[in-house]
Amino acid sequence: MIKGSLKLASSFRNKMIFLFFAITIVPFLLFASYAYTKSVEGIQNANATFSMDYLEQTKRNVEAYLNQLNDQVNDLIGDGALQAMLAAPPDEAGEEEAVAVDLLNLVYQKKKQIDALQVRVFPLPMEAYPTYMRTLGAPPGVEREAWFERARQSVVPTWSLALGSGPGSGPLLVYVKTFTGLHDRTPRGLVATDLSESHLSRFFSPTKRLEGQRFLLLGEQGEILFDSSRSEWTGQPLPSAELEQRRQVQTEGEMTIPLQGEEQLATFVNMDSLPWTLVSLTPMKALTKPVSDLNRLLVFFLAAYLVCSVGVVAYITLSFTQPIFQLVRLMRKLEDGDFALHIPHQSRQDEIGWLYRGFNRILRRIESLIEQSTLAERSKKELEFQVLSHQINPHFLYNTLDSIRWKAENHGRTDIGEMVSALGNLLRLSLNQGKELTTVGRELEQVKAYVQIEQARIGRPLRVAYFFDERMLERPLIRLLLQPLVENAIQHSIRENIDRGKVVLTGRMDGEDLRIEIADNGRGIPDSVLRALDSEESAPVRGRRTGVGLRNVNERLKLYFGPDYRLRIDTGEQGTRIVIRHPALPPDDAGAERRLAQPGGETSQDRPANAKDASYRPDGPEG
């Protein structure tokens, strides 16, 4: 059963169906989810920013109003007539009644200048003004109420919340201020200023309010002093401990809190002059209502999209996957060795038709390819035999040169023997057993063999000096790099002045590279040769073959290691200096020969760390 399920899942047709739904439905759902999340986030941020700005403006307006109210109350307190009436309690009943009438008239007149619902003045002591207190309508024992005692004992104005109990009565926010005489510290009375809901609601009435949005004014202990939603929560503690804790440590902020079973976006700002906080609460469902409507529309489109997708899948299955499935069965028969297959003719001009016709052509070519494979195997054997035969030729040449050297020495011609021996060494080192990589030491031996042959040909010693770091002699080096350059220096620079001509070879480690310099004091390299060296053409210069060795070495370095490793040539009438830079490959790097088979494959990661330079003079200057 498991194998059957795996086979069903690996079917191309089923994969196509799964892939179709994966690239159509899944991205659609992901995009819808992402768009909804980002839309809610954007709406929430925008509303939070708007609410925060509105609360800041409301805070400034409320504080300006409270400052104005305090100034108006101070004008009442500073009135000379009020101070004179309350300077001393009246002694007689008639005098007390006259004071009561004057005091009521004064308060009534001043009330017109104070932006409040009601202004009450309580003289101290109150028992000395019974007529005034009865006319004022103050309840008996008002001086023993908590708000009165708190205001009387405080040196700063106090606020208290009075909740009405009668029909049509609303909560009042009472501003109480105790005042003394103008020229002494003797208490004269209290001024209680009542602010109704209408006095505060005008500061919490934005032009556009979302459904369910409300504004709160919180007191110092977290009690709700004002609720813009018909004072529903006025007098109650804030129903969110998280918001209460947050406002105690921050001056303003925004957060999402659960209230009454739904998420609310809360923004708050603390006031500067009073320990109050302005709060805006907005239901999240009111914010996301447009997005929710859009989501319902998306669900409808998704259902229609699924119906269309099923139709498209059926069409793809019948028109594409079923013919491919039939072709797979034919291919399995071919795997079993049945070459006598009948491929149905497909006149379709799409990829399916091309696939059937292409498979038919492949099938018809398999038999011819089998025959060609047999012939190719036979040719391969013949080539291997030829390669083995050609390997005999270099050994035959070595043996022949050794025989010539032996006969020359037997006849007393040691010069001929040495020349033949040098030629044999030169040939052996040049061939390098067919390998492209040699070592710096073997390359120097090849140069010395060449110099020895040239000295024998010229009949005069050549001044060639070698100075190499001993630790770089075992480093791998591309073969035939130095000998062509030394030959070029001898043939074209110092040959016309053998007595004074000199060639110096220097080698040292330079970071992750081998640096080899070949310097001579000859007549320099012509400009035409240098221009041909830098050109893209690899053909030799017309006429004399001057510069062929230079160009060969330069092209090989660039081919294997890139343009950064080309020859650096400094030439003039006083001589020529050629600098070769070669990557410092590890001495035992077995994969270097294979990497050189792919030009440009060597990287700095394959190079070893270098040691300090040291001079090396194996044989001293020759000549």
What pLDDT digit, counting tens, does each position of 412-431 carry? 666 676 666 767 666 666 65
Separation between Cα atoms, residue 336 and residue 329, nearest integer Å: 11
Structure tokens of 266? 């809360």
The pLDDT value recorded for residue 227 is 87
Separation between Cα atoms, residue 62 and residue 41, nearest integer Å: 31
Separation between Cα atoms, residue 226 and residue 201, nearest integer Å: 8
The pLDDT value recorded for residue 541 is 41
Q: Which helix (H) or strand (E) holds 358?
A: helix 351-390
123 within 8 A of 132, measured Cβ to Cβ:
yes
Which domains are delineated in the chain? Answer: 78-199 (3.30.450), 339-389 (no CATH), 463-606 (3.30.565.10)
CA dist list (Å): 133 to 126, 147, 175, 473: 7, 17, 19, 120
Structure tokens of 159? 């606020």
The pLDDT value recorded for residue 290 is 72
- CA-closest candidate to residue 609, choices 587, 580, 579: 587
CA angle at 488 for the pair 482 and 490, rounded to the nearest 5°: 100
Structure tokens of 164? 């009405």
Mean pLDDT of 360-388: 71
State how beta strands 224-227 and 252-259 pair. Answer: unpaired
| Position 4 confidence tier, pLDDT thresholds 50, 70, 90 | very low
514 within 8 A of 475, measured Cβ to Cβ:
yes
The pLDDT value recorded for residue 570 is 92
pTM: 0.47
Please tell me which residue, 507 or 180, carries the higher pLDDT value: 507
| Position 616 confidence tier, pLDDT thresholds 50, 70, 90 | very low
Please tell me which residue, 198 or 288, carries the higher pLDDT value: 198
- Counting every residue written for the chain, the total comes to 623
Type of residue numbered 275: P
The pLDDT value recorded for residue 8 is 45
Q: Supply the DSSP string of 459-486, one letter for each residue.
A: TS---EEEEE-GGGTTSEEESSSHHHHH
What pLDDT digit, counting tens, does each position of 188-238 carry? 899 999 998 888 888 887 656 677 888 899 988 889 888 888 888 888 888
Separation between Cα atoms, residue 336 and residue 341, nearest integer Å: 11
CA 140 to centroid of chain Cα atoms: 75
Which segments within 521-594 are labelled E, that is strand? 568-572, 575-583
The pLDDT value recorded for residue 607 is 42
| Position 617 confidence tier, pLDDT thresholds 50, 70, 90 | very low
Contacts of 404 (CB under 8 A, 6+ apart): 416, 420
What pLDDT digit, counting tens, does each position of 489-544 carry? 888 888 888 888 999 999 999 989 999 999 999 888 888 888 877 664 444 444 34
547 within 8 A of 521, measured Cβ to Cβ:
no
Which segments within 198-338 are labelled E, that is strand? 214-218, 224-227, 252-259, 262-270, 277-283
Q: Which helix (H) or strand (E) holds 436?
A: none
Mean pLDDT of 569-591: 85
With a cut of 50, say whether residue 615 has pLDDT above it: no
Mean pLDDT of 276-297: 80
Please tell me which residue, 117 or 391, carries the higher pLDDT value: 117
Query: DSSP letter at 343?
Result: P
What pLDDT digit, counting tens, does each position of 111-163 carry? 888 888 889 999 988 888 888 888 888 888 888 888 888 888 888 898 988 88
With a cut of 80, say whether residue 181 has pLDDT above it: yes
Q: Can you give the three-state secondary structure of 140-180, one letter per residue?
A: CCHHHCHHHHHHHHCCCCEEEEECCCCCCCCCEEEEEEEEE
Separation between Cα atoms, residue 462 and residue 452, nearest integer Å: 9
Provide the terminal-to-terminal Cα distance of the chain, rounded to the nearest Å: 89
| Position 165 confidence tier, pLDDT thresholds 50, 70, 90 | low
As a whole number of angstroms, the longest Cα–Cα distance in the chain is 169
Mean pLDDT of 328-338: 76
Structure tokens of 1? 């059963």
Alpha helices (H) in 535-607, listed in sequence order: 548-561, 592-596
Is 422 buried (19+), middle (13-18) or exposed (0-12) by CB count in 10 A?
A: buried
Residue recorded with tokens 């805006």: 280
Q: Which residues pair with 579 in a beta bridge?
A: 517, 568
Please tell me which residue, 327 or 262, carries the higher pLDDT value: 262
323 within 8 A of 352, measured Cβ to Cβ:
yes
The pLDDT value recorded for residue 502 is 93
With a cut of 50, say whether residue 610 has pLDDT above it: no
What pLDDT digit, counting tens, does each position of 38-88 carry? 777 777 787 888 888 888 998 899 999 999 999 999 998 888 888 888 888
With a cut of 90, say whether residue 440 has pLDDT above it: yes
